[in-house]
C-alpha cells in the first residue's frame, strides 16, 4: 500500500496510543477532539489530493528506493524538477486548506538526513545511511506522515548545550547501551507531531566535541514509550467549542503546535542516524533549514492566495472594489505573493545533486526566500486588514446573528452591498480575522517570522553563502584595481 486514502489515514491515527495533554488534561480521543480535528483535516488533504488524477504529477512521485508510486511528501528529490514540483505542491495545498498541512517538515528532514548520513558513513564507516533507507522504505510503503523535530527549548541562548544549567534543555543521550541509546529532552514548536506516525529527530545547532551527547539524530514512532505532548494555545482556539463554526473563520482546517517531551526514550541502534559525530550536526541543520526555507516559498504563497481572495471579496461585499486605492492594494498583495513564489522556484531551479545523489536547493536563494517571507506576509496582512475594515475585529458572534431577537438587528446594520447577505459578509471577514489574527496566525503570519529559523538565522546564512570576496574581485577587475 504505497498510497493511503484520506479516510485510511484518519483510521491509522486512531490506532496510535498518543499521549497528548491540553488545558491540564489528557486527551483520550485525539482524532475527534474539536480543537485538534481541523489540524488533522489539513494533513488529510495531502492524502486526498494524491488520489485525484488531476494532481497526480504534483502530489505523487516514483520512489528511488522501491520504484513504486508514492506520495511526494515521502520522496527523496531526484532532480531540480522534483524540487520545483515540491514548491508547486505546497502552494496547491495552501490554497486548499488556508492552513499548515504539516507534512513538509518530515519531507525536508528526510532529504537532509538522507544526504548527511551518506557523508557520515563515507568518513566513519558507520551504517546510518542504510538505517535511514530502511526507515524511509517503510515510510514510503505505508505512506506514513513523518514529523521533523529540530528545535530544542535552548534555555540560555548564550550557553552551549553542555554548559546549560539544566542539561535537558537540549535533547541528549543520557545512557548508552549495546543495543541503542536512551535520550531525554524536549522539542518545541512541533508542527504536526500530534498528526504524525513517526518522527525524525535532529540536532538544533552546529556542535563541538563537548556537545557530543547532543549530536544525536534518530527516528521513532510518535507513540513510543516516554513521549508525550503538550498542545500549544492559539488565539481563538476555544471558539471551536462554541457550536458557531462561522466564528472560527476556517471551520474545516487548521494547524497544531506542541511541546514534545522525550522522557528517557530508548532508541535502538538501527534507528540512529547520527550519534556523536559532532562535525556533521551543522551539515544536517544547514541542509534541513535550507529545504524548509524553500518550503515557505510554496505553502505561505498558497495561503496568501486565499487571503488575497478574501480581501478582494471583502472589497466586493463592502461596495468599494472599484476604488483605485483598493485596486492598487490588491495588486501590491499579488506582487508580494508572487515574489515569494519566484524565490521558491528560483532556489529549486538552481539546485544541485549531493554526494548521495539527491538534490539540494541553492542555499543562498533558499535563505533569501525565507528572509522575504519574514517581511512580505506582514505587509499582505496589513493590506488585507486595511481593505476589510474594522468589522474584522468588532463583529458580533454567529450566535448573535442566529438569535431570534437580536439577529435581525445584526443582519440589518451589518449589511454591505444589498446583493450580498450579511452572513456571507461576516464569513469572509471571519476568514480574514483567522488568517491575520486568529488560529491561522501560527500557519501564516507569526510562523512566517519564526518558522524554519529566525530572520537573523537566514541573514547569517546569506552572509556565509553570499561570496562577498568574489564580488570584491569583480569590482576590482572592472575598476582596474591592482593590489
Can you say whether residue 71 is alpha, beta or left, with left for phi > 0 and alpha for psi between -120 and 50 degrees? beta
The cell numbers describing 108, all together, are 525536508
Residues 6+ apart with CB under 8 A from 414: 391, 395, 396, 422, 425, 426
What pairing do the DSSP bridges indicate for beta strands 258-268 and 272-275? unpaired
How far apart are the C-alpha atoms of 128 and 113, rounded to whole Å? 9
Q: Which contiguous run of DSSP H or E holds residue 182?
A: strand 180-187
The cell numbers describing 78, all together, are 531526484
Residues 6+ apart with CB under 8 A from 124: 277
Residue 67's nearest CA partner among 78, 57, 59 is 78
CA dihedral (148, 150, 153, 158) in degrees, to 10, reads -170
Is 191 flagged in the annotation as binding?
Answer: yes
Would you say 201 and 219 are in contact if contact means Cβ atoms under 8 Å apart?
A: yes
Would you say 98 and 310 are in contact if contact means Cβ atoms under 8 Å apart?
A: no
Q: Give the model confidence (pLDDT) of 82-102 as tens digits.
A: 999 999 999 999 999 999 999
- Record the pTM: 0.96
Q: Could you list the pLDDT tens digit for every one of the 483 residues in the chain?
A: 689 999 999 999 999 999 999 999 999 999 999 999 999 999 999 999 999 999 999 999 999 999 999 999 999 999 999 999 999 999 999 999 999 999 999 999 999 999 999 999 999 999 999 999 999 999 999 999 999 999 999 999 999 999 999 999 999 999 999 999 999 999 999 999 999 999 999 999 999 999 999 999 999 999 999 999 999 998 889 999 999 999 999 999 999 999 999 999 999 999 999 999 999 999 999 999 999 999 999 999 999 999 999 999 999 999 999 999 999 999 999 999 999 999 999 999 999 999 999 999 999 999 999 999 999 999 999 999 999 999 999 999 999 999 999 999 999 999 999 999 999 999 999 999 999 987 666 678 888 988 888 899 999 999 999 999 999 999 999 999 999
The cell numbers describing 39, all together, are 489540524
Domains of the chain: 6-282 (2.40.110.10), 293-467 (1.20.140.10)
The residues that are catalytic are 100, 104, 191, 257, 292, 296, 299, 447
Task: Look at the block and give the residue holding cell 531551479.
Answer: 349
CA dihedral (33, 36, 39, 41) in degrees, to 10, reads 0
Helix (H, G, I), strand (E, B) or coil at 261: strand
Amino acid at each position: 500500500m504505497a498510497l493511503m486514502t484520506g479516510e485510511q489515514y484518519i483510521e491509522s491515527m486512531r490506532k496510535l496510543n498518543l499521549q497528548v495533554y491540553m488545558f491540564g488534561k489528557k486527551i483520550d480521543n485525539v482524532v475527534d477532539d474539536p480543537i485538534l480535528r481541523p489540524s488533522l483535516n489539513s494533513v488529510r488533504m495531502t492524502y486526498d489530493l494524491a488520489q485525484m488524477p488531476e494532481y497526480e504529477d504534483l502530489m505523487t512521485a516514483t520512489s528511488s528506493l522501491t520504484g513504486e508510486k508514492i506520495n511526494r511528501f515521502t520522496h527523496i528529490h531526484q532532480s531540480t524538477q522534483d524540487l520545483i514540483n515540491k514548491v508547486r505542491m505546497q502552494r496547491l495545498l495552501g490554497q486548499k486548506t488556508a492552513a499548515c498541512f504539516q507534512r513538509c517538515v518530515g519531507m525536508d528532514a528526510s532529504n537532509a538526513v538522507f544526504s548527511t548520513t551518506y557523508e557520515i558513513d563515507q568518513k566513519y564507516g558507520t551504517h546510518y545511511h542504510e538505517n535511514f533507507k530502511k526507515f524511509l522504505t517503510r515510510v514510503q510503503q505505508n505512506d506514513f506522515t513523518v514529523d521533523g523535530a529540530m528545535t530544542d527549548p535552548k534555555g540560555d541562548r548564550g550557553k552551549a548545550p553542555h554548559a546549560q544549567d539544566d542539561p535537558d534543555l537540549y535533547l541528549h543521550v543520557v545512557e548508552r547501551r549495546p543495543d541503542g541509546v536512551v535520550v531525554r529532552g524536549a522539542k518545541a514548536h512541533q508542527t504536526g507531531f500530534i498528526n504524525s506516525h513517526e518522527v525524525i529527530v535532529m540536532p538544533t545547532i552546529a556542535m563541538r566535541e563537548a556537545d557530543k551527547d547532543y549530536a544525536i539524530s534518530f527516528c521513532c514512532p510518535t507513540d513510543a514509550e516516554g513521549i508525550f505532548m503538550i498542545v500549544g494555545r492559539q488565539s481563538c482556539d476555544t471558539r471551536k467549542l462554541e457550536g458557531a463554526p462561522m466564528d472560527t473563520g476556517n471551520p474545516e482546517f487548521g494547524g497544531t503546535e506542541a511541546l514534545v517531551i522525550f522522557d528517557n526514550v530508548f532508541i535502538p541502534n538501527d534507528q540512529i542516524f547520527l550519534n556523536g559525530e559532532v562535525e556533521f550536526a551543522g551539515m544536517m541543520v544547514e541542509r534541513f533549514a535550507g529545504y524548509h526555507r524553500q518550503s515557505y516559498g510554496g505553502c505561505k504563497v498558497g495561503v496568501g492566495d486565499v487571503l488575497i481572495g478574501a480581501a478582494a471579496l471583502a472589497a466586493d461585499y463592502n461596495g468599494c472594489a472599484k476604488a483605485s486605492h483598493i485596486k492598487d492594494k490588491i495588486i501590491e498583495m499579488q506582487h508580494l505573493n508572487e515574489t515569494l513564489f519566484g524565490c521558491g522556484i528560483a532556489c529549486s531551479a538552481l539546485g544541485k545533486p549531493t554526494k548521495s545523489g539527491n538534490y539540494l536547493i541553492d542555499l543562498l536563494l533558499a535563505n533569501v526566500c525565507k528572509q522575504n517571507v519574514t517581511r512580505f506576509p506582514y505587509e499582505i496582512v496589513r493590506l488585507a486588514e486595511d481593505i476589510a475594515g474594522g468589522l474584522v475585529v468588532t463583529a458580533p458572534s454567529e450566535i448573535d446573528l442566529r438569535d431570534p431577537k437580536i439577529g435581525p438587528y445584526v443582519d440589518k446594520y451589518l449589511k454591505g452591498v444589498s446583493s450580498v447577505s450579511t452572513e456571507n459578509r461576516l464569513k469572509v471577514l471571519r476568514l480574514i480575522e483567522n488568517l491575520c489574527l486568529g488560529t491561522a496566525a501560527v500557519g501564516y503570519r507569526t510562523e512566517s517570522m519564526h518558522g524554519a529559523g529566525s530572520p537573523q538565522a537566514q541573514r547569517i546564512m546569506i552572509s556565509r553563502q553570499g561570496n562577498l570576496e568574489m564580488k570584491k574581485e569583480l569590482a576590482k577587475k572592472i575598476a582596474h584595481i591592482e593590489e
